[in-house]
Structure 1
Amino acid sequence: MARKDKASNAAQKMKGKAKETAGKLTDDERLEREGKTEEAKGDVKQAGESVKDALKRGRR
């Protein structure tokens, strides 16, 4: 399941980056902020996955 989660997190980051870029190009501050927020959520989720991976390696 970890690979699926990591892929989902990466997709969320890319989607956020796309929204942020679209917001910049169209001078839509709301869309830009929304994109930054979504990208940050993806980063936090990826960090959580890294912690889970590290804990799994420590148990072995």
Structure 2
Amino acid sequence: MLVGIEVTAEDVRTGTVKHTNTCYFPMVAKDDEGQPAIVPGLRLETSENTRRFLEAIKRREV
């Protein structure tokens, strides 16, 4: 699974919020013996989920 993190900064005086960083890192589920475990497949339930999934595919192709 690839997890995405978005970092924002807020000016507390004005309330202005701006995006500062984005990163992605892989996570692996492990079983009781520490081996990679099979997890249920991804369910894309919204158009936003689908959009982000398709963007992830494009990032992997680079």
Q: TM-score, normalization: structure 2?
A: 0.29
Q: TM-score, normalization: structure 1?
A: 0.30
Relative contact order, CA 8 A, sep 6+: which one is greater? Answer: 1
* Larger CA Rg, structure 1 vs 2: 2
